[in-house]
Amino acid sequence: MGHEDKGHFAAKHQNKKIDKTIAEKIQALADDNCLTCSAAHRAGKALNVSPSEIGVQTDLLEYQITECQLGLYGFSDGEKKINPNIEISPDLNEQLDKVAENDRISCLECWNIAKKLKMKRIDVSSACEKKNIKIKPCQLGAF
């Protein structure tokens, strides 16, 4: 859902209900009805639930997920935080070519590559952008 849908996130989840425990955790970590990607993942770990469930519950609360750890969305200036001039290492290039299917890679796969190559997540997403690889789906369901 894009910015034009702000405030209508729950509509994506017609048959879901708010989980009180998860909602309380999200509310405790949120600021002005916004939950950062990092805080969402912390909430999931603390409650032993998947990032996608945190995303669903965040949507049901009509909260916005901000500050994507891949630098793709949720920043106050509306711009991505990637480096379009990144130099792509041969190892990273090889991993992206190996994992991407139809010029697409998941958020989780980007995280896994970053961990494997001991690099910043945002560098992986920057390389994807440079190689015209779309990152989808988001672990939280934001895109």
Q: Exposure string (b/e) for 63-99, b if CB count within 10 Å is 16 or more?
A: bbbbbbbbbbbbeeeeebbbbeebebeeebeebbeee
pTM of this structure: 0.90
What value does the CA radius of gyration of the chain take, rounded to a whole number of Å?
Answer: 16
Q: One-letter amino acid identity for 83?
A: N
Per residue in 45-75, pLDDT (tens digit) is 999 999 999 999 999 999 999 999 999 999 9
Looking at residue 2, the DSSP 8-state letter turns out to be: -
Report which secondary-structure segment, H or E, holds 64.
Answer: strand 64-66
Structure confidence at residue 3 as a pLDDT band (50, 70, 90) = very low
